[in-house]
Structure 1
Amino acid sequence: MTENRHRQEQHSLSMMYGTYADILFVLFPFLIIAMQRLWDGNLYDTLMQPDLSIAAVILAGLAMGKFVLGLVTNQDLGRYKERIVFFIALTLFLVLGPAIILLLSMTSDAEIPRFVAFVQPVLLIIAISLYTTAVSIANILTRTSVNGQAERDLQHPYSDSTAQRGLVDQPPLDLPRRTGRDGY
């Protein structure tokens, strides 16, 4: 029991590192732009440019992809369908829509209101939160799907899926040895 819990904790930790690595890779170009603006003495301009909205749109799109992935992973998980659709709608409503509107408004020639300097970082934080939630949900649904398959495999211990995941100890494949007659 503790080995299984330890394995689940290690898997969750690995997923967390992977999730934040994705976020860091998305934010890396925007960090470079912000550092260049800081070097030039124009850090406030970063908050008044559409960069953070672009990053929020990218992360919101990735989150929606993860939510959809969790939705289509296994047909047996239909009971979670409404929750996943809710998170997709939430991502559209809270991040994607406002970030695209800000992006389009900021690229026009109109004067940019000062509240944008506050709204853009908030949108980015919400996008990061929704992306980590999406990865967690997809991970839980996938793990639930795998655990459900593992339970079915215990009833049929020598099925192909148990052998592929290493749930049953089997001897290594015994291949015939080559003889000198083959010409090799």
Structure 2
Amino acid sequence: MSDSQQRQEQHSLSMMYGTYADILFVLFPFLVITMQRLWDGNLADILMRPDLSIAAAILAGLAIGKFVLGLVSNRDLGRFKERIVFFIALTLFVVLGPAIILMLSIVGSGNVPGFVAFVQPVLLIIAISLYTTAVSISNILTREGPGDTDTGPSGGLHGPAAPAAGHEPLAIPSRTDSDTI
């Protein structure tokens, strides 16, 4: 295995760890809520509450942000722009919309239908899959080029570790003595 392949694999592994760390960070509060409900003896109510829909909506929103980042980061995408827009629409249509509808319906209704216990985990799994895909696409599109093998942290929620070549850094004017108040 060549050195560049090994660095590419290390970059992919770092990206995967960063992505799943983000997912675990988002899901942690819901794990705490679930553990509290288990402690209280409300095991049957876990899937009938809006918690999983809230987590799915958060991850769907993060996925849309990553897809948009990938869309605006590289102006030379050509035919890939339609695919990214498709993934944004898919995320809205398949996860975000149904998750919000389920949240509102569960909170606003005293009688929650049984299918909710099946639909919410499916939405969460789809949201995790779409977020993972979004991070992968965003990182591929924001790389410096095909030979980029940066092994630094992928950033997950925070984007790539360093700006891509060809992008100008943000120009922040220096402070002068006349600027002090």
Fold shared, TM-score > 0.5 on shorter chain: yes
> Structure 1 segments of 4 or more deviating over 4 A?
none
* Partner SS for 1:75: coil
Q: Aligned residue for 1:137?
A: 137
Q: Aligned residue for 1:52?
A: 52
Task: Give, in whole Å, the separation in 2 of the partners of 1:20 and 1:148.
Answer: 24
RMSD: 1.7
Aligned-pair CA distance for 1:101: 0.4
Task: Give, in whole Å, the separation in 1 of the partners of 2:41 and 2:12.
Answer: 41
- TM-score w.r.t. structure 1 length? 0.77
Aligned-pair CA distance for 1:109: 3.1
Query: How do 1:43-122 and structure 2 match up within 5 A?
Result: 43-122=43-122
Task: Give, in whole Å, the separation in 2 of the partners of 1:139 and 1:105.
Answer: 36
Sequence identity, in percent? 78
Q: Aligned residue for 1:155?
A: none
* Partner SS for 1:76: coil
Task: Give, in whole Å, the separation in 2 of the partners of 1:149 and 1:7.
Answer: 10
Residue 23 (str. 1) matches residue 23 (str. 2): yes
What letter is aligned with 1:132? Answer: T
- TM-score w.r.t. structure 2 length? 0.79
Cα deviations by residue, 1:147-183 (Å, 9 ceiling, x for unpaired): 1697xxxxxxxxxx59xxxxxxxxxxxxxxxxxxxxx
The structure whose RCO (Cα within 8 Å, separation 6+) is larger is 2
What letter is aligned with 2:103? Answer: L
Task: Give, in whole Å, the separation in 2 of the partners of 1:8 and 1:83.
Answer: 24
More helix by percentage:
1
Task: Give, in whole Å, the separation in 2 of the partners of 1:2 and 1:124.
Answer: 38
Q: Aligned residue for 1:5?
A: 5
- List gaps (5 residues or longer) in structure 1: 151-160, 163-184
